[in-house]
């Protein structure tokens, strides 16, 4: 990742962050001005909106991060990008070739002179359920540390994602204005932490790019 790509990525991430935070701010203003009989229904709807931004933001900036490596030389990218590249290639050929043929192709994919595939960002998949398990998978794909999330994984699963699913599937779970505001604050903090993790990963990849080859690629003798 060169300087120009890094600058563009950070700009895109901030733009993605800003419009989502602006929408949540507008929603909180509407909630604050509603009467007490409307607040519970609006708070329930707020959980769905908050989840859409949680999943959408993390997915979008992770995809944008990986897009920065498309067409890069395979020996100039971090290991986790190479893994994403191989995973994407394997998915593409799953129904076309045998396992042995796919293994051979994987070796060819990381031979000297190969470039990162064009559809790398498709590796990012939330499965419409961005719980702690899927969050970890995405973090691994973009080199994010998630150190700030270590004590928050159960909170994500039980206090947020499961509540969202219950409301989305028509359960009559009650949710107060204060509960929503507290949850929105906590999730925003986590989104911001992930944002910084992705930017830090990009900075690290940029520094590695300037230092030379990351790893030795396999060269297959025929």
Question: Which residues sit opposite 115 in a β-bridge?
Answer: 73
Q: What is the pTM of this model?
A: 0.87
Task: Output the CA–CA distances (angstroms, integers) from residue 135 to 22, 23, 142, 152, 193, in the order listed.
Answer: 24, 23, 11, 12, 13
Asked whether residue 132 is domain-assigned, the answer is: yes
pLDDT at site 138: 97
Indicate if the pLDDT at residue 106 is higher than 70.
no
Judged against a pLDDT cut of 70, whether residue 16 lies above it is answered with yes
**Confidence at residue 216, expressed as pLDDT on a 0 to 100 scale:** 46
Residue 26's domain comprises 3-71+124-211
Q: State how far the Cα of 93 lies from the Cα of 102, in Å rounded to an integer.
A: 7
Per residue in 28-74, pLDDT (tens digit) is 999 999 998 899 999 999 999 999 999 999 999 999 999 999 888 88
Nearest Cα residue to 148 out of 103, 105, 195: 195
Residue 111 lies in a domain: no
With respect to residue 95, please indicate whether it lies within any of the assigned structural domains. no
The answer, yes or no, to whether residue 221 has pLDDT greater than 60, is: no
Nearest to 81 by CA among 125, 135, 142: 142
Closest CA to 120 of 42, 46, 68: 68
Per-residue model confidence as pLDDT tens digits over 137-166 = 999 999 999 999 999 999 999 999 999 999
Return the C-alpha torsion angle 152, 156, 160, 163, nearest 10.
Answer: -120
**Quick check: is 80 in a domain?**
no
Q: What is the pLDDT of residue 86?
A: 82
Residue 91 lies in a domain: no
Specify if 170 maps to a domain.
yes
d(CA 78, CA 143): 8
101: in domain: no
- Looking at per-residue pLDDT, the higher value among 17 and 120 belongs to 17
pLDDT tens sequence across 176-209: 999 999 999 999 999 999 999 999 999 998 876 6
Q: How many domains does the chain have?
A: 1
The answer to whether position 116 is within a domain reads no
Q: Are 57 and 90 in contact (CB under 8 A)?
A: no
């Amino acid at each position: 990742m060169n300087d120009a790509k890094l600058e563009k990525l950070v700009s895109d991430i901030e733009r993605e962050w800003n419009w989502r935070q602006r929408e949540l701010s507008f929603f909180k203003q509407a909630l604050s001005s509603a009467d007490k009989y409307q607040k519970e229904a609006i708070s329930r709807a707020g959980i769905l909106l908050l989840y859409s931004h949680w999943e959408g933001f993390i997915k979008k900036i992770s995809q944008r991060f990986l897009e920065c490596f498309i067409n890069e030389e395979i020996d100039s990218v971090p290991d986790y990008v190479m893994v994403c590249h191989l995973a994407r290639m394997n998915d593409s050929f799953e129904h076309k070739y045998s396992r042995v043929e796919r293994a051979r192709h994987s070796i060819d994919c990381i031979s000297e002179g190969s470039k990162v595939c064009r559809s790398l960002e498709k590796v990012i998949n939330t499965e419409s359920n961005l719980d702690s398990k899927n969050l970890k998978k995405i973090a691994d794909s973009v080199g994010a540390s998630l150190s700030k999330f270590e004590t928050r994984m159960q909170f994500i699963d039980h206090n947020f994602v499961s509540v969202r699913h219950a409301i989305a599937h028509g359960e009559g779970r009650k949710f107060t204005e204060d509960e929503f505001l507290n949850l929105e604050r906590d999730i925003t903090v986590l989104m911001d932490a992930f944002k910084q993790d992705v930017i830090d990963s990009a900075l690290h990849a940029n520094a590695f790019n300037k230092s030379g080859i990351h790893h030795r690629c396999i060269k297959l003798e025929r």
